Structure 1
Amino acid sequence: MPQDRQALHLLTTAASHLRAGDMAQAIAAFEASLAIDPHQPDAWFNLGWAQRAMRQFDAALQSYARAIAEGDPHPEQALLNRATILSDHLFRPDAARAELEQALRANPGFLTAWLNLGNLHEDLGDPTSARFAYEEVLSRAPDNARAHARLAAIDVATGAAGSAIARLKAVVPQAADVTSRAELLFALGNALDAVGETTDAFQAIEAANWIARSIAPRRYDAAAQERLVDALIAGYPVRGETRAATGPVAAKTPIFICGMFRSGSTLAETVLGRHREITPGGELETIPAIVQALRPYPAAALALSPDAIAQLRVRYLADLPGDGWVTDKRCDNFLHIGLIKTLFPDARIIHTRRNAADTLLSTYFLQFGDGVVYGSDLLEAAHYYVQYARLMAHWRALYGADIIDLDYDTLVVDPHAAVSAALDGLGLPWDAACLGEPNAPLAVRTASAWQVRRPIHRRSLHRWQGYRAQLGDAIALLERHGIGVTP
């Protein structure tokens, strides 16, 4: 604790702002306290936390480093937070790995660091190192559900689903809590699906989703989703009303890849990201962060002044990694195409689409957590799909050729034709590397990390047909709104 009374008062004020969620005021108070007494590791740590929340990533890295230098008794947590920033926000996986390894040298029993290290190795396509990290977790905590689930995913990806099934069936009854049980059941269901045991697979996934719904902090609000789509359609009625952002031509040109979750967006970014002129940017949070600040949305977005538009454009480009053409593969940006075209009138949108039933099934089989509130209920997912289809029809009518459809089914059946059409839409030349192997390891931070590292294949094509009976009500809802699923 600081010895100076004013520094202590400022520290108390900062903590109060932090609890209230007022990060800007918290940062100011922490900085003022540290200006008086810089030898406060806790204050440096909490300053880093607030800076990270405000997307001040470089400053947060420095604050966490200072916390360690000032004698933080648990440096492993600061190192873990630094690793998360480096991996998830600054796209520096090698630096993130070094931070995690340093955290584990400081505390070899720090399970969260082992789990994050395993996940990072998965992102980089290194199953051997990922497996080692997860096994380290289980050597210390034999019932850790996350480690068991991730090992099962690696087994499925490497053709050893049978081993995963046997192991998971043994550990599911021993789950420590319902959250762990759900995670294990999701893993078991996907492993059973991999060997074609569809009845047992769906039973496991259904049980997992039942748990997910029962413990979810919030549920899908169908009426609110309809109101949002109504407001977006009403707010962006004519292409000519889009106000162009002003300023010099940027050295970066974003390619927005969006569509329903589980519609092939990761595969799309992977193949396009091998093009010599394209840098894969991953799932960027900048557009959702801008939307979060524009309340009420979309009314506040529609009221932006030209200066505000220009400022937001600069903010977005500052977060875009690399120069030239850079992809932003944030699926739910399909909601914000009107805002995107306001910021970037010449923007091209790669819209990934897939057979609706396959999309719903793949969503249902994945544990999304709080981020996709409709994912644990097939009828809710079907309702969301209907609203998505309605909005995409509006955007397509509004922005025409600027929206380039990339169909998953076409991509896996005729990759050359699908990729060629997408590149033509972008105005880029053909590059055979798109259908080859990447020249360098590519970090893939999505649930499709293992699938997209295999050669393009048809194994997930029309997968829904093995679950036709279980999907019956959801398919009927889609068909009532004119969305067909028959291949």
Structure 2
Amino acid sequence: MAEPAEALMALASRLRAAGRADEAAQAYRQLLAIRPDLPDSWFNLALMERRCGRFEAALKAYDEALKRGVSGPEEAWLNRGVIHADDLGRPDLALADLEAALAVAPDWLPALLNLGNLHEDMGRREAAGDAYARALVVAPGHPVALARSAGLARLSGADDPVIGELRAAVAEPGLPVGDRAELGFALGRALDQVGAYDDAFAAYAAANAASRATDPEGARYDRAAHERFIDSLIAAFPEPAAPVVDAGDPPIFICGLFRSGSTLTEQILAGHSRVTGGGELGLVPGLARAIAGYPQAMATAGVASIAQLRDLYLGGLKTARPDADVVTDKRPDNFLHIGLIKAMFPDARIVHTVREPLDVILSNWFLHLDRSMGHALDLEDLAHWHGQYVRLMRHWKALYPDILDLDYDALVVEPRPAVERLLAYCDLDWEEAVLDFHRAAAPVRTASVWQVREPLYQRSSGRWRNYERHLDRVRAALGTDSQA
């Protein structure tokens, strides 16, 4: 018969491999109560705790792993840094963790790339460039380091050496398609920046094709399946949510299509003395995934079930942003789950960011998004996705006329009236600082990290006109009924 510790270790490993994180964490805790001298098990416990959203517990487990001499301590330090940066919004602690990782392994590429990314989030352009330069010394021509470094460059024109370097890198024979996609998006971005729009369009088309080629099945967008999902959301929430006597203190929800101005909206609000930017919290999608039979099951969910969901959300919010007064939950695709949000918090303030459809579609196509967002790899698929978004938002707004539409294009033309309306909706007093949002020191985790660190500008509004000659089929697919 196996010893208790051996049996628990085997059980924990099986549960971890099966993706049963909570049960695996419990098994690791039982194991470590018997054998606390197992640093790798502390490390694995930390992985499971984070997967379950128990971030402080994960940090403590990493501390134990480090204290007990875990092999590869730089990975434990890096993982701590990711929790501090992504989950808890503590960039200074994340920086200390990454520096500790590099003290152990000065040439470790993952730490250098994460360091550069963290500096970008904090608006530290020179420091980010230094980190990527170090990465390129360690791994010359590394596609991620090269692409991110190019994204920081201030380009002089189409013949800038950075563009030449990207062209050469993309054309390298035998380059893996994933690397070709990474570099291709960087090349498209650089060409767009210098006004070489036809070349930029071609580079983005090739980059999206390469991204799809890395996982053709996983990147497939099933239009009919998405239509059925939207149908199910509408059917599951046919009428407004019932009032709740005490729903706690929900955040301000900011949602809309990706690249519709949600980050800008959050940065404006975070400039207010009472507001803490929560960033793209995964709490609402996490709850939706955890509900068996979602969304259909919500049609018959009772008061007790919804109260349990509400408590889970508020507990997660408190863990992610403790001691905050007013928090924002800026998860653009939460527009899919407005029915769930309102079921939990009938009085929740929901800011819906809107923008010219062609600008939104192009901006998504220009990004190297996760391949699970297969619709973003094809312009006509993006037009279809947009049409389904419009259909769903019309349903939500018919149920909840209090949803606030914040128009990006109007905001950048005349900021003050739009911001005054936004603050009044959020029950916040006027503060001039909200118009100086670009000076904020808080981290910004978004593809538009450098744009939101500038004063409001209009150059992204109407950007689609630079590519008008390529958009006939997209415009036809959108039709005339394209506003949510």
1:433 deviates by: 1.2
Map of 1:391 onto structure 2: 392
CA distance in 1, matches of 2:243, 2:219: 37
Q: Does 1:35 align with 2:33?
A: yes
Map of 2:101 onto structure 1: 103
CA distance in 2, matches of 1:134, 1:438: 24
CA distance in 2, matches of 1:256, 1:215: 34
CA distance in 2, matches of 1:483, 1:159: 37
CA distance in 2, matches of 1:467, 1:269: 29
CA distance in 2, matches of 1:484, 1:338: 20
1:302 to 1:245, Cα distance in 2 relative to 1, 3 A: farther
The answer to which of 270-279 and 66-75 deviates more is 270-279
TM-score (norm: length of structure 2): 0.94
1:290 to 1:128, Cα distance in 2 relative to 1, 3 A: same
Q: Does 1:325 align with 2:315?
A: no
1:153 to 1:472, Cα distance in 2 relative to 1, 3 A: same
One-letter amino acid matched to 2:79 = N
CA contact (8 A) 1:259 1:334 kept: yes
Map of 2:225 onto structure 1: 224
One-letter amino acid matched to 2:199 = D
1:276 maps to which of 273, 284, 293? 273
Q: Does 1:338 align with 2:343?
A: no
Map of 2:479 onto structure 1: 479
1:371 to 1:443, Cα distance in 2 relative to 1, 3 A: farther
Map of 1:287 onto structure 2: 284
CA contact (8 A) 2:49 2:57 kept: yes
What secondary structure, in the 3-state scheme, does the structure 2 residue paired with 1:295 have?
A: coil
CA contact (8 A) 2:267 2:437 kept: no
Aligned alpha-carbon RMSD (Å): 1.8
Deviation per CA, 1:319-370: give whole Å up to 9, x if none: 3324332111100000000110111111011000000000000010010022
The answer to which of 328-337 and 45-54 deviates more is 45-54
CA distance in 1, matches of 2:56, 2:382: 38
Map of 1:196 onto structure 2: 195
Deviation per CA, 1:101-155: give whole Å up to 9, x if none: 0001011121001000100000000011101110110001002111111111111
One-letter amino acid matched to 1:285 = G
2:307 maps to which of 300, 305, 310? 310
1:191 to 1:333, Cα distance in 2 relative to 1, 3 A: same
1:430 deviates by: 2.2
What secondary structure, in the 3-state scheme, does the structure 2 residue paired with 1:369 have?
A: coil
CA distance in 2, matches of 1:74, 1:340: 42
Deviation per CA, 1:163-214: give whole Å up to 9, x if none: 4313212322237411111100100001100111001000000000011112
1:58 maps to which of 56, 71, 75? 56
Map of 2:255 onto structure 1: 258
The answer to which of 128-137 and 429-438 deviates more is 429-438
CA contact (8 A) 1:245 1:306 kept: no
Map of 1:452 onto structure 2: 452
1:421 deviates by: 1.7
CA distance in 2, matches of 1:404, 1:160: 41
What secondary structure, in the 3-state scheme, does the structure 2 residue paired with 1:179 have?
A: helix
CA contact (8 A) 2:15 2:24 kept: yes
What secondary structure, in the 3-state scheme, does the structure 2 residue paired with 1:468 have?
A: helix
Deviation per CA, 1:383-422: give whole Å up to 9, x if none: 0000000011111111002x10110100110111211122
CA distance in 1, matches of 2:140, 2:67: 34
Gaps of 5+ in 1: none
Map of 2:405 onto structure 1: 405
1:92 maps to which of 84, 87, 90? 90
Superposition misfits of 4+ residues, deviation over 6 angstroms: 158-161
The answer to which of 139-148 and 308-317 deviates more is 308-317
What secondary structure, in the 3-state scheme, does the structure 2 residue paired with 1:328 have?
A: strand
CA distance in 1, matches of 2:365, 2:304: 43
1:237 deviates by: 1.8
Mapping for residues 363-378 of structure 1, pairs under 5 Å: 363-378=364-379
Identity of matched residues, %: 46
Deviation per CA, 1:64-89: give whole Å up to 9, x if none: 11111111121011111111111100
One-letter amino acid matched to 2:214 = I
CA contact (8 A) 1:41 1:68 kept: yes
1:72 maps to which of 70, 73, 78? 70
One-letter amino acid matched to 2:35 = D
What secondary structure, in the 3-state scheme, does the structure 2 residue paired with 1:262 have?
A: coil
1:245 to 1:304, Cα distance in 2 relative to 1, 3 A: farther
1:440 to 1:419, Cα distance in 2 relative to 1, 3 A: closer
1:215 deviates by: 1.7
CA contact (8 A) 1:254 1:325 kept: yes
1:304 deviates by: 2.7
CA contact (8 A) 2:46 2:58 kept: yes
TM-score (norm: length of structure 1): 0.94
CA contact (8 A) 2:236 2:297 kept: no
CA distance in 2, matches of 1:364, 1:375: 5
What secondary structure, in the 3-state scheme, does the structure 1 residue paired with 2:376 have?
A: coil
1:13 to 1:267, Cα distance in 2 relative to 1, 3 A: same
What secondary structure, in the 3-state scheme, does the structure 2 residue paired with 1:374 have?
A: helix
Name the count of aligned residue pairs: 475
CA distance in 1, matches of 2:297, 2:40: 38
CA distance in 2, matches of 1:291, 1:297: 6
The answer to which of 272-281 and 377-386 deviates more is 272-281
